[in-house]
Amino acid sequence: MTAAGAGGAATAFRARYGPWALVAGASAGLGEAFARALGARGLDLVLVARRADALDRLAADLRAAHGVEVRTLPLDLARPDLEAAVARAVDGLELGLLVYNAAASAIGPFLDRPLAAQRAVLDVNCAGPLTLCHLLGGPMARRGRGGLLLMASLAGGQGNPWLASYAASKAFEIVLAEGLWAELRGRGVDVLACRAGATRTPGFEASRPRAEVPLMAPEAVVEEALAALGRGPTVVTGRLNRLAAFLFTRLLPRRSAIGIMERATRRLYEGNAP
């Protein structure tokens, strides 16, 4: 694309999904890449995550690089008063895009991990996106434009032993996005679940995988996801991942898909789960 073409596309994106976007889980990895990509499109940003220092550094970078306004909101997305806390912080801002990127996981045998860790998966990966879609989707629908983008995973396509609650939470995000996509498209709000595969992020590295797997760059995942907004309820990012998704959800019997996920996850984490 020419520079003029890219500038025009960024302007159209901002008109459709701006002027403000909120990225939940913005301090690292895919969330940071979303924030950088949205800043480059001229959107003003509210950045949410727990680590205030990382958010402040990113905010300073984005202001300097793109001249956009950036606010940071350090909080835990699992907090029970999430709706009130975010509502207070964004009062008066015209938010045209939500990217819900944060996730929690409990890797390893379900019964060996504390219930608190499994419940955190529900709070961050299910209650969090549900709450923010409800809070921010209403004003978008009233304005007749906007977008809700949920970062899901290929793991949400079938049961995943050793990641059972995480995979179930990602299925929740996918099915939530599909339902909202149909409900809100007549009201100008685009809803998308991004079913990403393994991606090179600090979160993935921190899970200490023992085996090599093909990893996508976060920037590539983000560009595919943003390009897919408004084109359907879900996107699988990356050619290999699209092939895997087709095999797992269309070709293989469900039991076989679960078995393959089990072997792959054990190969990654057996003897070394965080």
Ligand X SMILES: NC(=O)c1ccc[n+]([C@@H]2O[C@H](COP(=O)([O-])OP(=O)(O)OC[C@H]3O[C@@H](n4cnc5c(N)ncnc54)[C@H](OP(=O)(O)O)[C@@H]3O)[C@@H](O)[C@H]2O)c1
Residues, the chain = 274
Options 72, 101, 158, 165; binder of ligand X; rule CB under 6 A: 101
Token pair belonging to 86 = 């975010």
119 touches ligand X (CB under 6 A): no
x/- letters, 183..202, toward ligand X (CB under 6 A) = -------------xxxx-xx
Element (H, E) at 98: strand 95-100
**What minimum distance in Å lies between the beta carbon of 168 and ligand X?**
12
28 touches ligand X (CB under 6 A): yes
**What minimum distance in Å lies between the beta carbon of 102 and ligand X?**
3
Which residue, 14 or 101, is less far from ligand X as judged by CB?
A: 101
**What minimum distance in Å lies between the beta carbon of 267 and ligand X?**
15
Among the residue ranges 35-43, 73-81, 109-117, 258-266, the one whose residues contact ligand X (CB under 6 A): 73-81
Options 17, 22, 27, 133; binder of ligand X; rule CB under 6 A: 27
209 touches ligand X (CB under 6 A): no
Which residue, 158 or 199, is less far from ligand X as judged by CB?
A: 199
Among the residue ranges 1-9, 44-52, 108-116, 140-148, the one whose residues contact ligand X (CB under 6 A): 44-52
The phi-psi region of residue 271 (left if phi > 0; otherwise alpha if psi is between -120 and 50; otherwise beta) is left
121 touches ligand X (CB under 6 A): no
Count the residues of the shown chain that bind ligand X, applying the rule CB under 6 A: 29
**What minimum distance in Å lies between the beta carbon of 12 and ligand X?**
26
| Nearest residue to 101 (alpha-carbon basis) of 30, 50, 162 | 30
Token pair belonging to 29 = 């990895």
Element (H, E) at 12: helix 3-17
Pairing of strands 189-196, 70-74: unpaired
- Active-site residues, by number, are 166
**What minimum distance in Å lies between the beta carbon of 188 and ligand X?**
25
| Nearest residue to 103 (alpha-carbon basis) of 200, 26, 37 | 26
Rounded Cα gap, residues 44 and 75, in angstroms: 19
Distances from the Cα of 143 to the Cα of 40, 137, 188, 273, angstroms: 24, 10, 8, 46
163 touches ligand X (CB under 6 A): no
**Cα atoms found within 13 Å of the Cα of residue 71, Cβ hemisphere only:** 14
Distances from the Cα of 202 to the Cα of 17, 30, 33, 207, angstroms: 28, 9, 12, 9
Among the residue ranges 19-27, 139-147, 223-231, 256-264, the one whose residues contact ligand X (CB under 6 A): 19-27
Does the CA dihedral 48-50-53-54 come out positive or negative? negative
77 touches ligand X (CB under 6 A): yes
35 touches ligand X (CB under 6 A): no
Which residue, 126 or 184, is less far from ligand X as judged by CB?
A: 126
Whether the upstream peptide bond of residue 114 has omega within 30° of 0, thus cis, is no
Residues forming the site for ligand X (CB under 6 A): 25-31, 49-51, 54, 76-78, 101-104, 124, 151, 153, 196-199, 201-204
